[in-house]
Structure 1
Amino acid sequence: MKNTQKKSDVATGLSELFEDSLKDIYYAEKALTKALPKMAKKATSQELIDAITEHLTVTEGQVDRLEKVFEVLGLKAETKKCEAIEGLIKEAEEIMESTQEGVVRDAGIIAASQKVEHYEIATYGTLVAFANTLGEKEAAHLLSQTLEEEKEADSALSNIAESSINIEAAEEV
């Protein structure tokens, strides 16, 4: 495939790649503030609904924290379309549409949510490493906070799935 990007659109250094990645995850977090309420509405387990609703509040805080990262770096907070999150959200929507309401759909929502969490964990881990390498200690600290929140969300989803939802879904045949 021929590279048709203009040279000015291509990151030429780690700091540009870092900035580009920040714009990408900023888009992703904003998109999730719209997607999470839809997932909560389609869920039936109160425990899952509560976890999604709580993570929505955390995600809104993460958007604010990313804006602070842009600020400490002296950058304008801008988004860049994140194709990965678009695909993950689309997949979640397809799962919700193609499963029957109840525990099976809840299991699908958890699976889709964990894919998102794993994407975010990978992205924030990379951003922390980039920030540390670039000597951006305050940005690294802020991004590390979000990384830990994403790991906690993933763990909470695993606990919900393994303690009840997956077991109940397996019995629905």
Structure 2
Amino acid sequence: MSIKTLEDMFIHDLSDVYSAEKQISRALPKLARAASDENLIEAFKTHLEETQGQIERLDQLVEATPEVRIKRMKCHAMEGLVEEAQEIIDSVEKGVVRDAGLIGAAQKVEHYEIAAYGTLRALAQKLGYTEAARLLEETLQEEKATDEKLTLIAEKAQ
């Protein structure tokens, strides 16, 4: 995809985060099965529901913004983050150490998403896509809340 305008960048970044959310929706059930701490398992399950809602919100954004069409692409950054989480699952015995690794992996994902949604919201505002900016802000706040929740779980873990 040739990127020449802010609108091109917005569509590129939106397409990238759409791919990222799809990848996360496939990874979260694996993370939940791999975890041992009940709070962490529940956090992964809750985030799966939120992720599905975030994908629906991205679909709403496209419907509300006729100038925007998501392109088919793969988010390579998320692919790498998911692979790192899988390496933890494959190489660390189930228990407190694996849970710590999974929390770290999940927070890397959250930080990526926070950066992506913050950038997208700013671009939407600059482009005058008011409804898109509102929807992106909603998701941004969910991602920040999930990051905080993971921090609390980590701090309470034994």
Which category of TM-score, normalised to the shorter sequence, fits these structures?
over 0.9
1:10 match: 2
**Which amino acid is the alignment partner of residue 65 of structure 1?**
R
State the distance in 2 between where 1:41 and 1:163 align.
20
State the distance in 1 between where 2:55 and 2:28 align.
14
Structure 1 unaligned spans of 5+: 1-8, 169-173
SS at match of 2:36: coil
1:36 match: 28
State the distance in 2 between where 1:122 and 1:91 align.
19
Contact 1:67 1:77 in 2 (8 A): no
Using the TM superposition, give the Cα deviation of residue 76 of structure 1 relative to its aligned residue in structure 2, in angstroms: 3.6
2:74 to 81, 84, 88: 81
Q: CA-to-partner distance for each residue in 1:64-105, whole Å, 9 max, x for gaps?
A: 000111111113444421000000000010011111110110
1:157 match: 150
CA RMSD of the aligned region, Å? 0.9
SS at match of 1:116: helix
1:108 match: 101
Structure 2 unaligned spans of 5+: none
Of all paired residues, the percent bearing the same amino acid is 49
**Which amino acid is the alignment partner of residue 50 of structure 1?**
E
1:70 match: 62
> Normalised by the size of structure 2, how large is the TM-score?
0.97
The count of corresponding residues between Structure 1 and Structure 2 is: 157
Q: CA-to-partner distance for each residue in 1:85-144, whole Å, 9 max, x for gaps?
A: 000000010011111110110110000000000000000000000000011110000000
Structure of greater Rg = 1
Does 2:146 correspond to 1:146?
no
> Normalised by the size of structure 1, how large is the TM-score?
0.88
**Which amino acid is the alignment partner of residue 74 of structure 2?**
K
